[in-house]
Each structure stands twice: as C-alpha cells, then as structure tokens.
Chain A
C-alpha cells in the first residue's frame, strides 16, 4: 500500500448527506475483476447525464476540482454496501482523503485498506472547510493534510486538528500490509484453533 504522510492538494466540497455506495459506484460497474480502472465511473449518475456527457453542475467536473485529491463530504458518507469498489473508484479517480462528520463503518475500514485517509470532524468544522474549499479567495486553493501532526491546513493558513486510531495511523504512515502483519501471529491463531477444537468440538465434527 502507498504510504500517506503529507497530502497537499485541492479539496472539493460535496455537501450531501447519506451518499451511499450505489451513488459512489453503481452496481453495473462491479463486474470488473480488477481493482483499478473504476475512477472514470465514480459518482456516475451525478457526474454524467443520460448521453454520457459530463454534467456541468457536478463539482468534480469543474476546474480545479477535477484534480481534487481531498473530498469534503456530508454526514454518513459511504453508507450501504460493503463493495470495496467504492474506495477503489475514489482512489482511481485520485482521491486520497475524505473529510466528513461521519462515515459508514464498512466504507471507513475499506478506505484505509486502500490508502485513503478518512477524517471525521464535527459538522461545524466540516462546514468551515467546505466553505473555504468552494468560496471566497480560498476557493480552489491547496489544502495540506498532515498525518504526522494530525492537522488540516486550509489555503488561508487556518488549521484544524483531528484524531485517528493509532493502528490505522501507523499502518497508513508506513504503508503496511495487514495480511503480512497478521501472518506473523500465525502461532497464536494455531493455538486458538487448538483450544476451539477442544472446547467446541461440534464446530469441526
């Protein structure tokens, strides 16, 4: 997994609540057998009209936001399905960080596994960042997300701090492979299995 330390990029604001996984990537695009290539289909229905042309009113279709690497979103972002195609499509589009008042649990976990940092902030902070991303003289400027200092710096220099689970932070900072780490504990897994075989024999009978 790609390491995440400091991200300096344009942020786009998408202030909708309950953006679900079908909105992020509709089911018909799940037929791929690869992790890449889904970026062009991200937010498909919001992004393109019936003829497949880009909708001018969708934020990621406009300059400079089509180069955004940060998305400032609404409450309960990523609700619905477990499809990892959702973060795959966002990552393939180029997003590396999503900021929202809350995330759906499965989407949240899936994102970190793909090097996407999800930051949970109070609604008021999210609103402030969203305003700076899209209006006034800060619109379209670069934000800096620093995972080492756990801060977001807006184009006007204003800073917001955030918190993150220690394990998630370390894994992202170092780009660690979860499976490799767990396989180092294979002895513990084996002794768990041994104990379970003794205590709950019907599971393997």
Chain B
C-alpha cells in the first residue's frame, strides 16, 4: 500500500523536477505573477547576466502597489520614484516578452485579485509572486507562496525554484459560523490562537465545515492571511464550488481540456489518514467578530473584549511586545475594544477587495451616513470588481453614505502610494497587517472585516456589527 499523502504532498510531488541527496529540490512553477515593486532588480539581474525569461506565457505582470487610486491617475502620477517603477515594469515586460496588464485596462488590479478573477489561478498549479500574500491563491487548491526578488529572477530565468519541502500543518474548524461572523473574523481568530510564527516552516491546509461553507471569496480571505500565521502557503481542497467559480473565466480550460482538468482536480485532496506534523482546532460556533488591538496580526480579540494588560502575558517577551504595541497604538489596558474611536476606515486590499467584500460593506452602509469627521476609503481590488460593484449600484450606496469610491490598487494597505494615514491617525482597516507604520508613518491600524469596517464608519468607533 502506498503511504497516505496530504494535499500539499501531492502538489509538491507533482512538481519536483529533481531532488539532491540533501533533500533540496528543484520545483517547477506553473504560474509567475509579477508586480512593479519586487521585480525591477530581478529583470536587471537577467539583463546583466544576458539571460532571458524561460517561459513568458507562464508569467503575467500587473501594476498595483504604487498606483494612485484617484480618477486622474492616468494623466499624472506625481511621485517620481513610484512612476519610475511603473514605467520600468512596462518596459521590462516589453523587453522580455512578458504579458502585461496596463493601468488603463479594466482587468488591472491587485495581483492576488486578478489571478483567480482571470482564471489563471487553478487547482493543482504551483504559483509564485514576489509578494507574501501569494498565499491567497491556495484557496483554489494551488500551491502558492511568496518569494523574494532573487527568487523572482530565478523563476524568470528557469521557471523553477530551489527549495526544501515544508512540513504539513492542519487547521480544523468544524461547525457553522454564527451570523455576522465572516471569513476575516475566522482567520483573525486562527492567527490569534496560533500566533504569527505558529505556521513557520509549514504549509497549512484548512479543513472543516467552516471553510467548505465559505464562498470562494471568503476562502481567499482566509488563505490570504496564512502568511500572517507564519506559513508561506495555505490550502483549501478544491470542490464543486471551486470548479463553478472557475468555469468560463478567460484563462480557465475550455471544452475537453476543462473535463480533463476537473477530473484531475477532483483527486486533489488529503488522504483520509494522511499525517500532519501540527494541528490547530477551533469551534466555529464559538466565534464572534474579531478586531486587532496591537501591532501584530496575532493581537486579535473578540470585539466584545477589552485591551489586554501587558502584565497579563505569561511570556515576558510577549508582555514587552504588548507594552510597546499599546504605546504605539496609544491605548490603555482595560479599554473596551468597542469604545476605540477611529479617524479613517479603509475597505479594500487583497484580503477584502473582492465583490463579496464590497457587498458586505454596502449592506451595512445602505441608507446610513458616515460619522462626522471619519474619512472612508473604499477601493475595489480590480477594475472588474469595480465594474461589477457599479453594475449593482454599490458605488451609489457608498457615496450617498459619504464614503469615497476609488480606482483599483493596493491603496491604503501599505504606505507606498498617495493613500496613507497621517501620524497618529487611527484606522479600521480590512487589510492584513497592523505593523507599526504599515499604513503610513505613525498610523495606527485595527484589522477588521468589511462589515465591521463599515460599522465603524457609521459610529466613528470600533463596533460590533451584530448590534447595528
């Protein structure tokens, strides 16, 4: 009998080109996504060494991190360095024959939104990008992880990576999520439980009804934040929902090829008695909406909780980190989380910039007004998400409530384009990182779901969305 294997084992094994005695493998990469920030030095490296791109057709580039989200962005990009990176991406793609989606194309958007949207992301593929949130694509049963620029150059030159296999980890959440509790709350609860290094050295498979019940968008939110738990890749076994989502998308297989692909995709699951090196269990029924209070994604608590006391941490290093966080966040231990006032609300990013996220925000904002003094930025993850939202009239709900509706891009997820927090400003954000300075120097971030972000927009403070 053959050894039972996990989904990760199967994906890994089917892409090994060769393995040396030390256990280091050359792994074949089926899809390489490229953006403007982590690629210029890689293309430069190719140029210097006189190398070409091995498989341009398995590569696609799109600008997202630097792009402004205002309507005038096609006319002017004021920041000269950002503009240079955008121009470099275009010229590098042109020089090396890499397919490129320009900013004025309706398909432009955050690289992790457009992969699944275009049907490029498929079960069974290996997918990399010079961006840690490449883990997003694991929601469709692809082995997808972020790489550094040297590895971007390596993949461009060879269509492979040199690496060792990671360990297997499983996060099991059985049962049904209660009403008002979303994929974002689920993943924040998981990271709160396992910690930001709980998944280091592992690939996580998410198993259980809580995940199978999720829409594809929700699954992407969960896998997106796998890296916040330290694991480079997260996986959800593909099922009918996955196939339904992919069918008819521009790059999805068609006709006979589609039938062949689906037959293969159905085999992509862990064997019943496959072994995992590490497991984490949560009960879906016990979950509530979550928020973060500190400067690490593991600083997540139910909205019904209070800001913790650094002295209450058993581990002194964590206590010291909590103390530093509270100083940075300007919060006092014991403050109820739902009394924390916000200056800004950001709804978007590769975590929560998909159509379902826009709908969730609109549902809360419909017929309501943004609290005085609160600035609300709603940024679709791609031009196609924007188009769909406008078809459904969501943009009108947003602007009627007093929110700003923008062009697609990474926006306020990271302080790299014009959408940034001012020092000291506090933001309820649907993005994935609350690191010091992540959304701008001195900015303070509370991670929440789109519905919770919309609720905070209305009340002006972090709010339990189930109460409004």
Q: How far is the CA of A12 from the CA of B122 in the complex (A)?
A: 46
B158 touching A179, Cβ below 8 Å: yes
Which of A63-71, A135-143, A145-153, A180-188 sits within the interface?
A180-188
Interface check B197, CB cutoff 8 A? yes
Which residues of A sit under 8 angstroms from B41, Cβ to Cβ?
Answer: 33-35, 84
B17 touching A33, Cβ below 8 Å: no
In B194-220, the 8 Å CB interface with A consists of 196-197, 200-201
Q: How far is the CA of A166 from the CA of B24 in the complex (A)?
A: 9
Q: How far is the CA of A185 from the CA of B150 in the complex (A)?
A: 18
A31 touching B321, Cβ below 8 Å: no
B28 touching A192, Cβ below 8 Å: yes
Which residues of A sit under 8 angstroms from B317, Cβ to Cβ?
Answer: 15, 17, 74-75
Interface string of B63-100 (1 = CB under 8 A from A): 00110000000000001011011001000000000000
A82 touching B146, Cβ below 8 Å: yes
Assuming the A-B contacts A165-B164, A205-B253, are A105 and B415 also in contact, with contact meaning beta carbons closer than 8 angstroms in the complex?
no
Which residues of A sit under 8 angstroms from B28, Cβ to Cβ?
Answer: 189, 192-193, 196
Which residues of B sit under 8 angstroms from A178, Cβ to Cβ?
Answer: 150, 154, 162
Assuming the A-B contacts A16-B321, A185-B26, are A45 and B436 also in contact, with contact meaning beta carbons closer than 8 angstroms in the complex?
yes
B433 touching A80, Cβ below 8 Å: yes
Assuming the A-B contacts A76-B200, A83-B38, A113-B151, are A31 and B81 also in contact, with contact meaning beta carbons closer than 8 angstroms in the complex?
yes
Q: Select from chain B the residue with minimum beta-carbon distance to A191.
A: B17
Interface string of A1-33 (1 = CB under 8 A from B): 000000000000001111010110011101111
Interface check A167, CB cutoff 8 A? yes
Q: Select from chain B the residue with minimum beta-carbon distance to A105.
A: B232
Interface string of B156-200 (1 = CB under 8 A from A): 011110111010000000000000000000000000000011001
Q: How far is the CA of A205 from the CA of B81 in the complex (A)?
A: 39
Which residues of A sit under 8 angstroms from B414, Cβ to Cβ?
Answer: 27
Which residues of B sit under 8 angstroms from A33, Cβ to Cβ?
Answer: 40-41, 44, 84-85, 88
Say how far A114's CB is from chain B's closest CB, in angstroms: 7
Assuming the A-B contacts A33-B41, A189-B28, A202-B257, are A28 and B157 also in contact, with contact meaning beta carbons closer than 8 angstroms in the complex?
no
Q: How far is the CA of A189 from the CA of B15 in the complex (A)?
A: 10
Assuming the A-B contacts A104-B230, A105-B232, are A79 and B197 also in contact, with contact meaning beta carbons closer than 8 angstroms in the complex?
yes
Interface check A201, CB cutoff 8 A? yes
B201 touching A105, Cβ below 8 Å: yes
A-B contact count (CB 8 A): 186
Which residues of A sit under 8 angstroms from B375, Cβ to Cβ?
Answer: none
Interface check A200, CB cutoff 8 A? yes
Which residues of B sit under 8 angstroms from A23, Cβ to Cβ?
Answer: 435-437
B158 touching A27, Cβ below 8 Å: no
Which residues of A sit under 8 angstroms from B164, Cβ to Cβ?
Answer: 165
Interface check B339, CB cutoff 8 A? no
Q: Select from chain A the residue with minimum beta-carbon distance to B163.
A: A109
Assuming the A-B contacts A23-B435, A82-B38, A106-B232, are A185 and B81 also in contact, with contact meaning beta carbons closer than 8 angstroms in the complex?
no
Interface check B117, CB cutoff 8 A? no
Contact-residue size bin, chain B (C-beta under 8 Å from the other chain) = 35 or more
B51 touching A179, Cβ below 8 Å: yes
Say how far A164's CB is from chain B's closest CB, in angstroms: 11
Interface check A61, CB cutoff 8 A? no
Q: How far is the CA of A182 from the CA of B54 in the complex (A)?
A: 12
Q: Which of A17, A45, A182, A202 contacts B261 (CB 8 A)?
A: A202
Which residues of A sit under 8 angstroms from B147, Cβ to Cβ?
Answer: 82, 106, 109
Say how far A180's CB is from chain B's closest CB, in angstroms: 8
Q: Which of B38, B157, B324 contacts A84 (CB 8 A)?
A: B38
Interface check B391, CB cutoff 8 A? no
B437 touching A182, Cβ below 8 Å: no
Which residues of A sit under 8 angstroms from B159, Cβ to Cβ?
Answer: 189, 193
B437 touching A26, Cβ below 8 Å: yes
B158 touching A182, Cβ below 8 Å: yes
Interface string of A91-109 (1 = CB under 8 A from B): 0000000000011111001
Interface check A41, CB cutoff 8 A? no
Interface check B49, CB cutoff 8 A? yes
Assuming the A-B contacts A82-B132, A84-B148, are A18 and B38 also in contact, with contact meaning beta carbons closer than 8 angstroms in the complex?
no
A22 touching B435, Cβ below 8 Å: yes
A183 touching B260, Cβ below 8 Å: no
A203 touching B30, Cβ below 8 Å: yes
Which residues of B sit under 8 angstroms from A183, Cβ to Cβ?
Answer: 157-158
Q: How far is the CA of A7 from the CA of B157 in the complex (A)?
A: 32
A18 touching B150, Cβ below 8 Å: no
A102 touching B200, Cβ below 8 Å: yes
Q: Select from chain B the residue with minimum beta-carbon distance to A192.
A: B17
A80 touching B148, Cβ below 8 Å: no
Q: How far is the CA of A105 from the CA of B164 in the complex (A)?
A: 11
Interface check B416, CB cutoff 8 A? yes
B196 touching A31, Cβ below 8 Å: no
Assuming the A-B contacts A81-B132, A205-B254, are A179 and B196 also in contact, with contact meaning beta carbons closer than 8 angstroms in the complex?
no
Interface check B430, CB cutoff 8 A? no
8 shortest A-B CB distances, which residue pairs? A110-B148, A31-B81, A84-B148, A113-B150, A202-B253, A82-B146, A202-B257, A33-B40
Could you jot down 25 A-B contacts, CB within 8 Å? A20-B433, A20-B435, A26-B437, A28-B415, A28-B416, A31-B66, A31-B81, A31-B84, A79-B230, A103-B200, A104-B230, A105-B201, A105-B230, A109-B151, A110-B150, A167-B22, A179-B158, A182-B158, A182-B162, A183-B158, A185-B17, A185-B26, A192-B17, A202-B257, A205-B257
Residues of B within 8 A of A (CB): 17-18, 20, 22, 24, 26, 28, 30, 37-38, 40-41, 44, 49, 51, 54, 65-66, 79, 81-82, 84-85, 88, 124-125, 130-132, 134, 146-151, 153-154, 157-160, 162-164, 166, 196-197, 200-201, 227, 230-232, 253-254, 257-258, 260-261, 264, 296, 317-318, 320-321, 324, 414-416, 423, 433, 435-438, 441
* With A18-B197, A104-B200 already in contact, 7 other A-B pairs whose C-beta atoms are closer than 8 Å: A17-B317, A30-B416, A31-B84, A104-B230, A183-B157, A189-B17, A189-B28
